[in-house]
């Protein structure tokens, strides 16, 4: 398929949106005076301007123009219980009124409790906290490089591990003959040269890459559920092959569970596959809405960042690591998920399946088809809350790896990522990249609203195709 030009469609949507949200438009003009693009984090800075939030509760946010926006982004997918869930807010409220919460520069029993919870639920031997998923994956890579004494980092093309030099390579497809690009200027060429990109869900490609680079590889870092790369679960065979190859070549296997941790069960996703990584990284959900991230895993690797391992890796965690307020939120969130695991995950799975069906059917029925959603479970992962619709070039396009969903020749990426996102926002539905996930705060009535919003959005889009 030759990629369609959506310039006119996007202009029309932007115009309609400026009329729909004049107060947010005005705030955006003010924001742009003092912040590049009017804010921080590019995914929040929707073009032509983002809704400016006033309040967030449960499944919805309210913006400065008074719209009740149904939100399937839910804090970068951190808010599995919806916005500002009482179980976390009450714990924080109590703490702040009794003189706890802010940074003290001391350590406490709370930190031990959260570490114990994480180790118990993920099978890790030891854990260290930091403040973001990016830092967690960077520290995990440093640990792997120190442990093995090797340089190279194998990652999945299309995998996103956050903003650090090794993570900013091979995320988006590059135009031309090179499949993957470098995401940012300023990255040392030596680092770019150390990153090898492999193909997701392709055990044979993985074997080839280990054969070629195995004795120089420090680690293979992989998301068991690919987030930014298209909401795709790893196949069981792929992760089992990764484990076997890492063992054969003495490579540290890192599961980046920043998105998947506590999303499919009250613990790591690797457990559902029966595959234990050497290290795993967690963030998002575990913080309960505040910045908590962690590296967790084998003691003989983790100890390299402490006195007992010669402090060979400078993984201190940072000034705000293990911030008491954040750990209070983490404890409240994790305790709740563990206690309610049996109800929460099957319920999310049922609503997630409904969301995938509704989006695909509604968009196709209004003439944008063929449409198929990724995000579904597999033989070992029964419940998935995720849904991402793809506008397929042909009915038979496979959606197994990032190359499938990010290639404009196979799926109309701009139609989903930009046009559908904005057209849904005009219906007061927020779906970053055109999709998202349900939280426990979403209800069947919200999905009926999504159904109607998809149909109206498609009718708005259709005349421009």
Ligand X SMILES: Cc1ncc(COP(=O)(O)O)c(C=O)c1O
272 binds ligand X (CB under 6 A): no
Interactions with ligand X, residue window 152-171 (CB under 6 A)? 160-162
130 binds ligand X (CB under 6 A): no
CA 305 to chain CA mean position, Å: 26
Exactly one of 227, 230, 277, 317 binds ligand X (CB under 6 A); that residue is 227
Exactly one of 24, 121, 122, 132 binds ligand X (CB under 6 A); that residue is 132
Q: Is 308 exposed, middle or buried (0-12, 13-18, 19+ CB in 10 A)?
A: exposed
259 binds ligand X (CB under 6 A): yes
Kindly tell me which of 164 and 460 has the beta carbon lying closer to ligand X. 164
Quote the least distance from Cβ 9 to ligand X, whole Å: 28
For residue 157, give the DSSP letter: T
Quote the least distance from Cβ 299 to ligand X, whole Å: 23
439 binds ligand X (CB under 6 A): no
- Tell me how far apart the alpha carbons of residues 258 and 149 are, in angstroms, rounded to a whole number: 26
Q: Is 212 exposed, middle or buried (0-12, 13-18, 19+ CB in 10 A)?
A: exposed
280 binds ligand X (CB under 6 A): no
- Tell me how far apart the alpha carbons of residues 289 and 342 are, in angstroms, rounded to a whole number: 22
289 binds ligand X (CB under 6 A): no
223 binds ligand X (CB under 6 A): yes
Quote the least distance from Cβ 351 to ligand X, whole Å: 21
- Tell me how far apart the alpha carbons of residues 170 and 401 are, in angstroms, rounded to a whole number: 14
Kindly tell me which of 17 and 315 has the beta carbon lying closer to ligand X. 315
283 binds ligand X (CB under 6 A): yes
Residue range at the interface with ligand X (CB under 6 A); choices 231-239, 255-263, 407-415, 434-442: 255-263
Exactly one of 61, 218, 258, 295 binds ligand X (CB under 6 A); that residue is 258
CA 405 to chain CA mean position, Å: 16
**Token pair recorded at residue 13:** 């949507």
- Tell me how far apart the alpha carbons of residues 260 and 270 are, in angstroms, rounded to a whole number: 9
Residue range at the interface with ligand X (CB under 6 A); choices 29-37, 127-135, 323-331, 403-411: 127-135
375 binds ligand X (CB under 6 A): no
234 binds ligand X (CB under 6 A): no
Max Cα distance, the chain (Å): 66
Kindly tell me which of 13 and 222 has the beta carbon lying closer to ligand X. 222
Closest-approach residue to ligand X (CB):
133
CA 433 to chain CA mean position, Å: 12
How many CB atoms lie under 10 A from the CB of residue 84? Answer: 16
**Token pair recorded at residue 278:** 């050497």
Q: Is 284 exposed, middle or buried (0-12, 13-18, 19+ CB in 10 A)?
A: buried
Nearest alpha-carbon partner for 245 in 297, 199, 274, 206: 206
CA distances from 228 to 48, 222, 454 (A): 22, 12, 22
Site string for ligand X, 69-98 (x = CB under 6 A): -------x----------------------
Quote the least distance from Cβ 283 to ligand X, whole Å: 4
198 binds ligand X (CB under 6 A): no
Exactly one of 82, 101, 133, 158 binds ligand X (CB under 6 A); that residue is 133
Residues that bind ligand X (CB under 6 A): 76, 132-134, 137, 160-162, 223, 227-228, 256, 258-259, 283
């Amino acid at each position: 398929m030759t990629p369609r030009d959506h310039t006119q469609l996007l202009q029309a949507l932007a115009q309609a949106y400026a009329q729909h949200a004049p107060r947010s438009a005005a705030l955006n003009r003010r924001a742009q005076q003092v912040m590049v693009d009017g804010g921080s984090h590019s995914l929040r800075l929707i073009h032509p301007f983002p809704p400016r939030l006033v309040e967030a509760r449960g499944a919805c946010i309210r913006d400065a123009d008074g719209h009740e926006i149904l939100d399937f982004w839910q804090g970068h997918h951190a808010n599995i219980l919806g916005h500002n869930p009482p179980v976390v807010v009450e714990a924080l409220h109590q703490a702040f009124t009794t003189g706890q919460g802010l940074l003290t520069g001391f350590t406490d029993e709370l930190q031990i409790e959260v570490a114990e919870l994480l180790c118990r639920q993920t099978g890790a031997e030891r854990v260290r906290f930091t403040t973001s998923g990016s830092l967690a994956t960077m520290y995990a890579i440093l640990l792997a490089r120190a442990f093995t004494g090797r340089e190279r980092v194998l990652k999945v093309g299309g995998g996103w591990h956050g903003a650090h030099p090794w993570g900013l390579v091979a995320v988006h497809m590059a135009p031309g003959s090179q499949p993957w690009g470098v995401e940012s200027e300023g990255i040392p060429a030596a680092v770019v040269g150390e990153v090898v990109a492999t193909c997701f869900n392709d055990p044979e490609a993985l074997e080839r890459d280990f054969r070629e680079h195995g004795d120089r590889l420090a680690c293979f870092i992989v998301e068991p559920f690919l987030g930014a790369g298209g909401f795709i679960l790893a196949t069981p065979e792929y992760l089992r092959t990764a484990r076997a190859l890492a063992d054969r070549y003495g490579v540290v296997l890192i599961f980046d569970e920043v998105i998947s941790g506590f999303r499919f069960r009250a613990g790591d996703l690797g457990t559902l596959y029966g595959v234990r990584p050497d290290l795993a990284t967690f963030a998002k959900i575990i913080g309960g809405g505040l910045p908590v991230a962690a590296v967790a895993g084998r003691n003989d690797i983790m100890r390299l960042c402490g006195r007992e391992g010669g402090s060979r890796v400078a993984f201190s965690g940072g000034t705000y690591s293990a911030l008491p307020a954040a750990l209070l939120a983490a404890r409240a969130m994790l305790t709740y998920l563990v206690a309610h695991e049996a109800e929460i995950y099957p319920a999310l799975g049922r609503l997630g399946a409904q969301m995938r069906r509704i989006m695909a059917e509604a968009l196709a029925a209004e003439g944008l088809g063929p449409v198929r959603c990724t995000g579904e479970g597999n033989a070992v992962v029964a419940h998935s809350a995720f849904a991402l619709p793809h506008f397929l070039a042909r009915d038979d396009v496979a959606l197994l790896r990032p190359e499938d969903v990010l290639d404009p020749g196979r799926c109309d990426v701009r139609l989903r990522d930009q046009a559908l996102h904005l057209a849904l926002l005009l219906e007061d539905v927020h779906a970053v990249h055109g999709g998202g996930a349900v939280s426990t705060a979403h209800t069947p009535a919200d999905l009926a609203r999504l159904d109607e919003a998809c149909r109206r959005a498609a009718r708005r889009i259709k005349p421009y195709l």
